[in-house]
Amino acid sequence: MLVGLTGCSTIKVVYNNSDDLLYWWVDSYADLQDGQKQLTRDTLTELQRWHRHQQLPEYIALLQKLRAMAPNDITPAQVCAVTEEGKTSFTTVLRFVEPASTRLAVQFKPEQLRSVRKRFDKTNKDWRKDWLDPDAEDRLQYRNKQALNRLEDFYGRLDTPQREVLRRWLSESVFDPVLSYAERERRQADTMQTLQRMVQEGSATAQAQALWHGLMERALNSPNERYRAYNRELWQENCEGFAKLHNSTTPAQRKRLVESLQGYENDFRILMAQK
């Protein structure tokens, strides 16, 4: 969850422009046309308004929980409990936009479906470049660098033994890029098939709504039992790894973490008061 937070210096700017950023992201996939553009902008404006008043208070409560934990040693169970709350919050957002997502998807034209497929192919190429093409050692270095940069944003510089804790955590990981990529392709194929069926519906009927809801459910909970087991194991492993890393930190590093979390909480309070 720490890795997912944008830097304190930019979070307010990013959040206040999130409707535009998300619009450009959707448009980069679907090449929005005519009335689809206004529908998407209206939906994202409403999403930001709702999120500001309904979700940010939950984020603040979660940050307060993290701040209370930060000065002490923690257990993997505590880490997993907090990250589960974050996952639940994300699911709530998906549920909120389901009706509008359905209304948009049924309006797609064949050329837009081709645009989505083309975008998938491009992002897959980038994903393979980062995670499949490198050998195991290069991939480990890449993961280690990413994690180290974000952790040091919160704790300050990690010393050599702490860096070794991080490297051991990642080097012993069950992370499997081949299995992860296969799930990525499954989701994309599922998305294309679902969109095609929704386009055939032609309007946001109950059937179309059920199709979109089912797609979101399968994205959150893969029908592939092997992947679900792998994902659970990876989740637990990361809870254990983060707890071990945190427990190796000094009082000064934990103090910095508390201050960083307080900074995010302050930013979220400011964002809540706006608009």
For the segment 208-251, what is each residue's pLDDT rounded down to a tens digit?
999 999 999 999 999 999 999 999 999 999 999 999 999 999 99
pLDDT at 275: 65
How far, in Å, CA of 228 to CA of 177, rounded? 15
Closest to 26 measured CA to CA, from 97, 116, 100, 154: 116
pTM for the full predicted model? 0.91
pLDDT at 3: 45
For the segment 8-44, what is each residue's pLDDT rounded down to a tens digit?
557 888 899 999 999 999 999 999 999 999 999 999 9
How far, in Å, CA of 267 to CA of 125, rounded? 36
List Cα–Cα distances, 118 to 111, 197, 236, in angstroms. Answer: 10, 19, 35
Q: Residue 195: which residues within 8 A CB-CB, separation 6 or more?
A: 105, 108, 113, 116
Q: What integer best gives the mean pLDDT of the chain?
A: 94
* Mean pLDDT score, 97-115: 96
For the segment 49-81, what is each residue's pLDDT rounded down to a tens digit?
999 999 999 999 999 999 999 999 999 999 999
